[in-house]
């Protein structure tokens, strides 16, 4: 479809964070024009499929959710109030053993609905049965980058390589990255195999890294090094990659991230709920480390809400550093949009510019929490919420608008399927 968005405020994030009056044109799945009201010299389509009057509202690139476990929607508010290791061992792993492939498909669709209401246009998903995740995303029209969850108990190096080749040539909405669950769940033999695959394909690698103090201490006990230093010693990051959580990072860890061009994906909601700690975001920024934001899974967060994550990134950093100026809103918004697109390798996303993919959102500024409009960027980070998301477009298609979903299925059907799955799994 050819769609014209006009009479709005435009935050292109293409080089700066200035908000300017203007319009955006979408032709097919790409952005054709971003700028002031088009004059006679601009080449317009002979007819628009739709023209949307923004009425002064904001149009901007969508958020890139850089760490998710989408299908864990079935454990929302089920596995709570435990620290990470007990949470995994006592609640999560036993329930996950009951999942079927069709369960993962249905539960992933539920997560997509929530992403759309939060202005999220892409996610970086680590979970089992990638075929089901890919199917769910494609059927909904959503953009997903999958990453392997290889560990001692699931998958294999051979499967990961096959998946890497398959899903990087599967569909325009799907990509696949090399990865593994964590150092503490993956043998050294497997880790060396991952590093070899990274070398073979000159590919980045991603994993959970330094999420808890216990994880770091036990890794030092096993190898005499932190997880970051140990994985780097195996040649894991010759072609970049990143770590999820990155809470308990030493100065040496941060140096390795900077020198290897790694991205730290922070998950403040999950880390707060599981009492894992507060990441050294201010220090990472000062040292030039790339940072992105992820919600983590709906079992550990439990809300797939980028607005809440953005506020927590800056709020927790200010508390940690005892400095109200730490990690300003402008930096946080960059993490949520450009940082996520960067770590996922989505080079055609992360800004509004001609030729880029049409992954964008419309934010309702005509609500009490966004008034007065003193500073749009700060309003987004400090006072914005899901209630302000009017429209979410992925790949040139409107998937959510004014509370209605356009994902190929009715939300009530998806909700009922999710509840049916958890009822079956909890039956005595």
Domain 2-62+348-405 belongs to what architecture? Roll (2.30)
| Nearest in space to 340 (alpha carbons), one of 215, 244, 276 | 244
Cα(31)–Cα(43) distance, rounded to whole angstroms?
13
- Give pLDDT tens digits along the chain (428 positions): 999 999 999 999 999 999 999 999 999 999 999 999 876 556 677 789 999 999 999 999 999 999 999 999 999 988 788 777 787 788 888 888 899 999 999 999 999 999 999 999 999 999 999 999 999 999 999 999 999 999 999 889 999 999 999 999 999 999 999 999 999 999 999 999 999 999 999 999 999 999 999 999 999 999 999 999 999 999 999 999 999 999 999 999 999 999 999 999 999 999 999 999 999 999 999 999 999 999 999 988 999 999 999 999 999 999 999 999 999 999 999 999 999 999 999 999 999 999 999 999 999 999 999 999 999 999 999 999 999 999 999 999 999 999 999 999 999 999 999 999 999 988 86
Cα(261)–Cα(287) distance, rounded to whole angstroms?
12
Q: Residue 50: in which H helix or E strand, if any?
A: strand 50-53
65-344 sits in which CATH class? alpha beta
pLDDT of res. 42: 63
How many Cα atoms are found within 13 Å in the side-chain-facing hemisphere of 240? 14
The domain ranges of the chain are 2-62+348-405, 65-344
| pLDDT tens per residue across span 319-332 | 999 999 999 999 99
Say whether 10 sits in a helix, a strand or coil.
Answer: strand
Q: Which long-range contacts (CB under 8 A, 24 or more apart) does 250-259 make?
A: 250/226, 251/283, 252/226, 252/228, 253/210, 253/226, 253/228, 253/229, 254/280, 254/283, 254/284, 254/287, 254/289, 255/287, 256/228, 256/229, 256/232, 257/228, 257/284, 257/289, 258/287, 258/288, 258/289
| pLDDT tens per residue across span 22-64 | 999 999 999 999 999 876 556 677 789 999 999 999 999 999 9
The pTM for the full model equals 0.96
Cα(165)–Cα(174) distance, rounded to whole angstroms?
12
Cα(332)–Cα(155) distance, rounded to whole angstroms?
35
Integer distance in angstroms from the first to the last C-alpha of the chain?
50
What is the layout of strands, in order, in the sheet containing 262-266? 63-68, 120-126, 143-147, 174-182, 205-209, 241-245, 262-266, 290-293
């Amino acid at each position: 479809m050819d769609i014209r968005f006009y009479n709005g405020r435009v935050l292109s994030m293409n080089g700066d964070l200035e908000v300017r009056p203007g319009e955006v044109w979408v032709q097919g799945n790409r952005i054709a024009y971003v700028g002031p009201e088009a004059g006679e010299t601009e080449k317009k389509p002979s007819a628009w499929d739709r023209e949307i009057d923004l009425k002064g509202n904001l149009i901007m690139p969508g958020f890139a959710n850089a760490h998710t476990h989408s299908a864990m929607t079935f454990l929302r508010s089920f596995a709570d109030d435990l620290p990470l290791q007990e949470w995994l061992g006592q609640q999560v792993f036993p329930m996950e053993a009951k999942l079927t492939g069709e369960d993962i498909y249905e539960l992933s669709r539920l997560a997509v609905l929530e992403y759309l209401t939060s202005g999220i246009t892409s996610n970086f998903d680590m979970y089992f049965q990638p075929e089901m995740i890919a199917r769910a995303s494609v059927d909904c029209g959503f953009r997903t980058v999958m990453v392997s969850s290889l560990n001692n108990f699931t998958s294999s190096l051979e499967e990961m390589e096959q998946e890497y080749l398959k899903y990087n040539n599967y569909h325009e909405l799907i990509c696949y990255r090399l990865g593994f669950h964590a150092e503490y769940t993956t043998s050294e033999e497997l880790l060396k195999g991952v590093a070899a695959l990274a070398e073979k394909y000159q590919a980045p690698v991603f994993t959970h890294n330094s999420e808890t103090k216990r994880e770091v201490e036990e890794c030092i006990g096993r190898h005499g090094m932190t997880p970051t230093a140990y994985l780097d010693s195996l040649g894991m990051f010759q072609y970049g990659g990143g770590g999820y959580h990155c809470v308990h990072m030493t100065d040496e860890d941060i140096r390795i991230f900077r020198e290897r061009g790694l991205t730290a994906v922070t998950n403040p909601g999950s880390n707060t709920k599981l009492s894992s700690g507060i990441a050294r975001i201010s220090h990472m920024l000062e040292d030039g480390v790339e940072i992105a934001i992820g919600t983590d899974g709906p079992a550990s967060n439990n809300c797939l809400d980028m607005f809440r994550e953005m506020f927590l990134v800056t709020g927790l950093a200010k508390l940690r550093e005892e400095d109200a100026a730490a990690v300003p809103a402008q930096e946080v918004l960059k993490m949520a949009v450009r940082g996520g697109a960067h770590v996922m390798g989505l080079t055609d996303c992360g800004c509004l510019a001609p030729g880029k993919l049409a992954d964008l959102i419309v934010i309702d500024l005509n609500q009490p929490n966004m008034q007065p409009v003193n500073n749009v960027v700060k309003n987004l980070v400090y006072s914005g919420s899901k209630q302000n998301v009017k429209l979410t477009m992925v790949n040139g298609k409107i998937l959510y608008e004014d509370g209605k979903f356009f994902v190929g299925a009715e939300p009530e059907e998806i909700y009922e399927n999710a509840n049916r799955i958890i009822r079956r799994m909890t039956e005595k």
